[in-house]
A and B are shown apart, each in its own frame.
Chain A
Amino acid sequence: MSHDHDHAHGHDAPLPEVVLRVKALEALLTEKGLVDTAALDAIVDTYEKKIGPRNGAQVVAKAWTDPAYKARLLADGSKAIAELGYSGVQGEDMVVVENTAQVHNMVVCTLCSCYPWPTLGLPPVWYKSAPYRSRAVIDPRGVLREFGVEIPATTEVRVWDSNAELRYFVLPERPAGTEGLSEAALTELVTRDSMIGTGLAGNPGATA
């Protein structure tokens, strides 16, 4: 794909001016003693390297293997997710919606970019983009097809609009043929998109 190359020069590319604005702002704040650069670097590093969809995958795999946990997760998402240690900024109020043969759930933030940071990390660019935000609510099946997901006509599709007060998280369906797998092995089948609802959890042996 030529996409990687185009990205730096396309609509999303900043003018060099943006770089100057950021440098100027950070320099002034640092000189005034209003920001602690080392502390900020540590925060950025955490979001860049430590927090990501592997956290959410642990939640899903535990729910698949522990019915009592799953019941707690669906009853009070924030509390059950915090049991595994995942809480904090942009994950304070979580609602977990379960995908079944009857219902397929998917999540969008039509206004901006609300996303459960503690369980999924920072959102990908497409999640924050105009095409996804606009179309997810008016043509969800069309959007899912673009992601390579065909939902049977007999399955209801529900779209949840996350907002600053409440963030949705999809509990994907456990793939068939995984009865013998351990919780650790199951986490490998849980993709980021399956927890947004734009994908399905993988099958054993297939690459996620």
Chain B
Amino acid sequence: MNGVHDMGGMQAYGPIDREAQEPVFHADWERRVFALFFGGFTGGFFNVDMLRAEIERMPGHEYLRSSYYEHWLHAIEALLIRGGAVTDAELKARIAELAAASRKEPH
């Protein structure tokens, strides 16, 4: 597929940003996305090729402004909804519930 993910040979993306002593995950939510990849994979809802194809179908501007594990999350959500593990409505309702709860908690 000819999309923005196919970056080989493109120019002007800037310098390579390297981090010394880089941790495997940069936030706990990244760790959980990695876990959910294995959950969906071992649960038979998708395979690695399906995950990649779903990431490659992301709109280009969203792909470029989101991080690596956000790409994974986007694909995992779409594949789990398509596979019937969860519905879009369930997911939206739960996100709204959690958002409301987090607003009540002091930060």
The A-B contact count (CB < 8 A) is 168
Could you pull out 25 A-B pairs where Cβ atoms are within 8 angstroms?
A3-B19, A4-B19, A7-B19, A7-B26, A13-B67, A17-B95, A18-B29, A19-B27, A20-B102, A21-B91, A23-B32, A24-B98, A25-B76, A25-B86, A27-B98, A28-B90, A29-B86, A35-B35, A44-B35, A110-B6, A124-B22, A130-B10, A131-B15, A135-B16, A137-B8
Q: How far is the CB of A10 from chain B (nearest CB, A)?
A: 9
For residue B43, CB closer than 8 A to chain A, the reply is yes
In the complex, the answer to whether A25 meets B36 with C-beta atoms within 8 Å is yes
Q: How far is the CB of B35 from chain A (nearest CB, A)?
A: 4
Residues of A within 8 A of B (CB): 1, 3-4, 7-8, 11-14, 16-29, 32, 34-37, 40-41, 43-44, 47-48, 90, 108, 110-113, 121-122, 124-126, 128-138, 143, 146-147, 161, 164
In the complex, the answer to whether B38 meets A18 with C-beta atoms within 8 Å is no
Given the known inter-chain contacts A20-B98, A22-B29, A110-B7, please indicate yes or no for A131 contacting B17, CB distance below 8 A: yes
| 3 interchain residue pairs of minimum CB distance | A110-B8, A35-B39, A24-B94
Residues of B within 8 A of A (CB): 5-11, 13-20, 22, 24-27, 29, 31-36, 38-39, 43, 48-49, 52, 55-56, 64-70, 73, 76-77, 80, 85-86, 90-91, 94-95, 97-99, 102
In the complex, the answer to whether A129 meets B8 with C-beta atoms within 8 Å is no
Q: Which of B7, B67, B94 contacts A14 (CB 8 A)?
A: B67
Q: How far is the CB of A30 from chain B (nearest CB, A)?
A: 9
Chain A binding surface SS class? helix
A20-B98, A24-B91, A137-B9 are known; give 15 further A-B pairs, CB within 8 A. Answer: A11-B67, A18-B70, A21-B73, A24-B98, A25-B91, A36-B39, A37-B35, A44-B35, A124-B19, A125-B17, A125-B68, A126-B17, A134-B7, A134-B11, A137-B8
CA distance A1 to B18 in the complex (A): 11
In the complex, the answer to whether A28 meets B9 with C-beta atoms within 8 Å is no
In the complex, the answer to whether A11 meets B35 with C-beta atoms within 8 Å is no
In the complex, the answer to whether A130 meets B13 with C-beta atoms within 8 Å is yes
CA distance A40 to B33 in the complex (A): 10
Q: Which residues of A contact B25 (CB under 8 A)?
A: 48
Q: Which residues of B contact A112 (CB under 8 A)?
A: 5, 52, 55
Q: How far is the CB of B72 from chain A (nearest CB, A)?
A: 10
Q: How far is the CB of A120 from chain B (nearest CB, A)?
A: 12
Q: Which residues of B contact A3 (CB under 8 A)?
A: 17, 19
Q: Which residues of B contact A20 (CB under 8 A)?
A: 95, 98-99, 102
In the complex, the answer to whether B38 meets A43 with C-beta atoms within 8 Å is yes
Q: How far is the CB of B91 from chain A (nearest CB, A)?
A: 6
